[in-house]
């Protein structure tokens, strides 16, 4: 069972998301917080598998809180949730170290799948956020990163699969490796590429054209019930 901590200034948002999550037997909400201080206090005793962190309404303060949490607990997995998709907000969230970025305009049914993906060591970007990343790369006219020259063929394969959002177990199955071997490759990749989390691996893979997100330029959020 995966444990989740909900952080949002809005009680209604927390209640709605909690109701969505607890429809699934493999998830349990173990705590709720409405501000930074409350969140940090809860984390002294709770060890959630994933934190779903609402960035609204004061996204600057929320992102600073996320940075603090990840600095103190580098292994923690956080999914950011927001109604905004402006470049500055998306970029700040990704740079803070979140493993996922969800839009409140997306389908409510996606919440649990995103949390499950992140809990399993994967990563997620909403279509809008993914499109932003693609635009940054195009505007920067990114070239092949010379750091790739130091990677083995197997390391590139692992990087590509991780950057596509596959969980460690899924990568292991795809490449016929053990889970521990994949974890070892992941650590080596982070050391060689001088990155600190899965989100930064995705950013590197996109910039180096190891993976390309297809179909995001003209794609909006999936239709469905909006998140509160």
Same domain, 115 and 190: no
Asked which of 43-47, 142-146, 203-207 is least confident by mean pLDDT, the reply is 142-146
Q: How far apart are CA 128 and CA 90, in angstroms?
A: 9
Give the CATH number for residue 160: 1.10.10.10
Same domain, 29 and 76: yes
pTM reported for the whole predicted model? 0.62
Over 50: is that where the pLDDT of 219 sits?
no
Picking from 35, 8, 71, 33, the residue whose alpha carbon sits closest to that of residue 227 is 8
| Residues 33/42, Cβ–Cβ less than 8 Å | yes
Same domain, 129 and 198: no
In this predicted model, what pLDDT tens digit does every residue of 66-124 receive, in sequence order? Answer: 999 998 888 889 999 998 878 788 888 888 889 999 988 888 878 999 999 999 989 89
Listing DSSP states for 61-125 in one string gives: HHHHHHHHHHHH-TT--EEEEES---HHHHHHHHHHT-SEEEETTS-TTHHHHHHHHHHTT--EE
Same domain, 43 and 128: yes
Question: Higher-confidence residue: 202 or 45?
Answer: 45
Q: How many CB atoms lie within 10 A of CB 25?
A: 7
Supply the range of the domain harboring residue 197.
Answer: 142-207
Using alpha carbons only, how large is the chain's radius of gyration in Å?
A: 17
Give the CATH number for residue 126: 3.40.50.2300
Same domain, 50 and 151: no
Same domain, 73 and 166: no
């Amino acid at each position: 069972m995966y444990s989740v901590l909900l952080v949002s200034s809005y009680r209604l948002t927390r209640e709605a998301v909690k109701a969505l999550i607890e429809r699934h037997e493999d998830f349990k909400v173990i705590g709720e917080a409405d501000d930074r201080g409350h969140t940090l206090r809860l984390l002294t005793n709770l060890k959630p598998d994933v934190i779903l962190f609402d960035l609204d309404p004061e996204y600057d303060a929320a992102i600073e809180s996320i940075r603090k949490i990840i600095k103190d607990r580098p292994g923690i997995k956080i999914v950011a949730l927001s109604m905004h998709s402006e470049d500055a907000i998306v970029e700040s969230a990704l740079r803070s170290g979140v493993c996922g970025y969800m839009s409140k305009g997306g389908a409510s049914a996606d919440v649990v799948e995103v949390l499950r993906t992140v809990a399993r060591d994967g990563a997620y970007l909403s279509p809008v956020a993914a499109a932003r990343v693609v635009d940054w790369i195009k505007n920067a006219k990114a070239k092949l990163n010379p750091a790739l020259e130091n990677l083995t063929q197997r390391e590139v394969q692992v990087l590509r699969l991780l950057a596509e959002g596959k969980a460690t177990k899924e990568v292991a199955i795809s490449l016929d490796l053990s889970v521990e071997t994949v974890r070892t490759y992941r650590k080596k990749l982070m050391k060689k590429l001088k990155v600190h989390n899965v989100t930064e691996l995705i950013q590197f893979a996109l910039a180096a054209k190891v993976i390309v997100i297809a179909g995001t330029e003209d794609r909006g959020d999936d239709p469905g019930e909006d998140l509160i």
